Amino acid sequence: MLLDQQFLFTPGPTPVPNRVYHAMNQPMIGHRGNAFPKLLEDVSTRLMPVFGSLLPVLVIAGSGTSALETAVSNVVEENDEVVVIVTGAFGDRLASICEAFGANVHRLNIEWGKTCSPDQLEDYLKSLQKNVKAVFATYCETSTGVLNPILELGKVTKQSTDALFVVDGVSCIGAVPVEMEEWGIDILVSGSQKALMLPPGLAFVAISERARETIEKCQSKRFYLDLNKYLSSYEKEKSTPFTPAVSLIYGAQEVCQMIEEEGFHNVIKRHQVLKDMVRVGLEAIELPLLVSDSEASPTVTAVKTADDSSKQIKKMLQDKFAITLGGGQKRLKGEIFRIGHMGYCTPFDVLKILSSIEMTLHELDRKQVLGVATKRAQEVWLQNV
Amino acid sequence: MLLDQQFLFTPGPTPVPNRVYHAMNQPMIGHRGNAFPKLLEDVSTRLMPVFGSLLPVLVIAGSGTSALETAVSNVVEENDEVVVIVTGAFGDRLASICEAFGANVHRLNIEWGKTCSPDQLEDYLKSLQKNVKAVFATYCETSTGVLNPILELGKVTKQSTDALFVVDGVSCIGAVPVEMEEWGIDILVSGSQKALMLPPGLAFVAISERARETIEKCQSKRFYLDLNKYLSSYEKEKSTPFTPAVSLIYGAQEVCQMIEEEGFHNVIKRHQVLKDMVRVGLEAIELPLLVSDSEASPTVTAVKTADDSSKQIKKMLQDKFAITLGGGQKRLKGEIFRIGHMGYCTPFDVLKILSSIEMTLHELDRKQVLGVATKRAQEVWLQNV
């Protein structure tokens, strides 16, 4: 059956709007000419509300992991005591990067599928009795679909320690509220290929004035990801120390335009509606969700499946309906599938996903599911038109 | 006067062909699905002849400097003795990166505008009397436009030391011959935005089996640029350890197609013709070249200018003829301008540049230059049709 295209609903990379591709196709420019500084300043300042940052957002050529490494290697020195809140595979990656840079890493391990509560962090920091240099947290843990309570975790960090509070915002920034100053966030990083609707290849780093002091003093060996170089180049000439990924930055400019046209508060609201549609729909056809309503991210939803059906459902969605979802990662491999609903995603996309899941379950002998998830999702949409 | 577009002739970034943009506009795919491994394997293997590599070329999301750092941080440990041949600003950058990673750096400083001769390297290595872990060289030094004799420098390195021979090929790979095994190159890196006709944002790394052993043993702190992770991910699943810059890799696939259609030996020959056209043209109008014929790169040509005329010429070319050239860097600032003629560049482009320089000089009161450079360049072209 002709379906005219493949549909990508993994929790990153996510679909790229045609107008963003169009912007990326602008003729190449040199980064030492007059045009590039204007482009970079435009993007860096228009991203400030999206990152809730008081300073222009720095742009690095690299993937999300390079953003995480930037957050680590500019703060953490050999034998520093750091706390990493691990709520899933990406918290685990943050801890691994801290270890790679020689820190004494204290992992606050949370059951996968749950958020870290402020009390858990407070108790952990108290019991630790160490002079902690930084607390690392994941805003949306992509591997499980929880959205950690960053505002509260930031408050606890500031009340209990002098540590910097460093947040991985890769799979949610651009879809959720955030205020770095008010929430006590010192470094907030993200990537281009999630809620920001771009192809992968850009890392974004927002910092506080307080973080800046630490970054300046940090002795860790680094060159390409040395934030002092990016800060200096931006301040002196609104440029980057190394050749920037120009086409992706043109794309980022168009993304800023799209977010402003929709209104950032509407973007945030849309993601809430998408999340609610997905969740009530899946519940209506009795697919168990990994994460509770209050802990769930508006950008990605993980679905638990009995025995081996996760693989089977994912495969049929791909083969019959051209829909790509994410699988489980690490210890959740084979136990869940994940639906990404962020960035360039509309309620119609959610209806498409739910319809396809209904038809898949129907083909796999689950009776009376056709239309059931769809109906509940439609109701949610209508309540939010 | 309508000129319909801007013309970018800096030594990187360089113009991107429309068919490459078109390829980059393909719908986004996930890197954990079935399509991406095929794409990556296709690109990594088709780049092998371009890098003269016996192993698939590794692809990293990042700019050229991230490629250089990869070459350093996977080999060099604290207090290692390394030699860096410095023929200009990018050799200097290589040395800085080695220093950032704690090496004892021995700089073989060559006058800017000259290549390093095999004898110079041999004498230096002899006089040094150190157990050198790696010798770093720049193939084309972008800041001056020399093409170092890498084949001979590789031979000297192998004969005089047990060191790895590591080559920065950023501003020439894709336009020049290279054979890693025969020439004794252990690591060869490049970026996407020069002779490879892509936007900036991809780093390419080719390694020898011998380099691999060193990389496996290297204890330097690194994570995002740890080649062991890229090697393992490529071998196990033809993927990358971290989210790849998918759209740029689609573009790279189209670039491989273009190179194969033209024939790589013809690509190399074309760059020789472009270089000859530029040089005879500029000589005909008595603009002094920084580099001698035998030492000049086929990808970039530096032009010396008396007093302040470099700035003036560059500005008029930009303002009147929409042509962007590169300026001088560091100690050559204000003393030269540089013409990039690599990648997506044809003889007509060179005629366009030479015509515009003629008209610029004419406007600046240099008489009898109109058509003079053009005529000589045409003759070269006709000899090579």
- Answer whether B69 sits within 8 Å of A224, measured CB to CB: yes
A:282-311 residues touching chain B, CB 8 A cutoff: none
If you measure CA to CA, which chain A residue comes closest to B4? A27
In terms of Cα–Cα distance, which of B30, B243, B28 is closest to A5? Answer: B28
Q: Give residue B310's pLDDT band: very low, low, confident or very high (50, 70, 90).
A: confident
Residue A236: pLDDT over 80: yes
Residue A303: pLDDT over 90: yes
- Answer whether B27 sits within 8 Å of A8, measured CB to CB: yes
Q: Does A21 touch chain B (CB under 8 A)?
A: yes
- Chain A hits for B103, CB-CB cut-off 8 Å, are none
Q: Does B3 touch chain A (CB under 8 A)?
A: no
To probe the interface with A, which of B96, B170, B247 has the most A CB atoms within 10 Å?
Answer: B247
pLDDT at B4: 81
pLDDT at A365: 87
- Answer whether A21 sits within 8 Å of B16, measured CB to CB: no
In this structure, are residues B175 and B144 in contact, taking their beta carbons and an 8 Å threshold?
Answer: no
- Answer whether A13 sits within 8 Å of B191, measured CB to CB: no
Other C-beta atoms closer than 10 Å to the C-beta of A344 total 20
Average pLDDT of B226-249? 98
A:321-380 residues touching chain B, CB 8 A cutoff: 324, 326-327
Q: What is the pLDDT of residues B77-126, one digit of tens each?
A: 999 999 999 999 999 999 999 999 999 999 999 999 999 999 999 999 99
- Answer whether B13 sits within 8 Å of A24, measured CB to CB: no
Rounded to a whole number, what is the distance in Å from the CA of A259 to chain B's nearest CA?
A: 20
**What sign for the dihedral angle of Cα B217, A89, A204, A134?**
negative
Q: Give residue A180's pLDDT band: very low, low, confident or very high (50, 70, 90).
A: very high
- Answer whether A199 sits within 8 Å of B247, measured CB to CB: yes
Q: Which residue has the higher pLDDT, B310 or B65?
A: B65
Q: What is the pLDDT of residues A337-365, one digit of tens each?
A: 999 999 999 999 999 999 999 999 999 98
The size of the A-B interface in CB pairs under 8 A is 185
- Answer whether A30 sits within 8 Å of B8, measured CB to CB: yes
Residue B204: pLDDT over 90: yes
pLDDT at A366: 86
Residue B268: pLDDT over 80: yes
Q: What is the mean pLDDT of chain A?
A: 97
pLDDT at B365: 87
Q: What is the pLDDT of residues A241-279, one digit of tens each?
A: 999 999 999 999 999 999 999 999 999 999 999 999 999
Inter-CA distances, A328 with A107, A142, A305, A333, Å: 22, 10, 11, 4
Q: Does A263 touch chain B (CB under 8 A)?
A: no
Which strand (E) or helix (H) includes residue B161?
none
Q: Which of B5, B14, B221 sits opposite A100 (nearest CB)?
A: B221
If you measure CA to CA, which chain A residue comes closest to B60? A62
Q: Over pLDDT 90: what percentage of chain B?
A: 95
A:43-72 residues touching chain B, CB 8 A cutoff: 61-66, 69, 72
pLDDT at B334: 87
Peptide bond connecting B244 to the previous residue in cis, omega within 30 degrees of 0? no
To probe the interface with A, which of B9, B243, B337 has the most A CB atoms within 10 Å?
Answer: B243
- Answer whether B10 sits within 8 Å of A32, measured CB to CB: yes
**Domains plus CATH for chain A?**
7-14+263-383 (3.90.1150.10), 18-260 (3.40.640.10)
- Answer whether A65 sits within 8 Å of B246, measured CB to CB: no
Average pLDDT of A38-46? 98
pLDDT at A2: 84
- Answer whether B31 sits within 8 Å of A8, measured CB to CB: no
- Answer whether B245 sits within 8 Å of A199, measured CB to CB: yes
Average pLDDT of A82-97? 98
Residue B307: pLDDT over 80: no
Q: Give residue A309's pLDDT band: very low, low, confident or very high (50, 70, 90).
A: confident
Secondary structure of chain A in HEC code, one letter for each residue: CCCCCCEEECCCCCCCCHHHHHHHCCCCCCCCCCHHHHHHHHHHHHCHHHHCCCCCCEEEEECHHHHHHHHHHCCCCCCCEEEEEECCHHHHHHHHHHHHCCCEEEEEECCCCCCCCHHHHHHHHHHHCCCCCEEEEECEECCCCEECCHHHHHHHHHHHCCCEEEEECCCCECCECCCHHHHCCCEEEEECCCCCCCCCCEEEEEECHHHHHHHHHCCCCCCCCCHHHHHHHHHHHCCCCCCCCHHHHHHHHHHHHHHHHHCHHHHHHHHHHHHHHHHHHHHHCCCCECCCHHHECCCEEEEECCCCHHHHHHHHHHHHHCEEEEECCHHHCCCEEEEECCCCCCHHHHHHHHHHHHHHHHHCCCCCCCCHHHHHHHHHHHHCC
pLDDT at B161: 97
What is the rounded distance in angstroms from the CA atom of residue B134 to the CA atom of residue B154?
Answer: 11
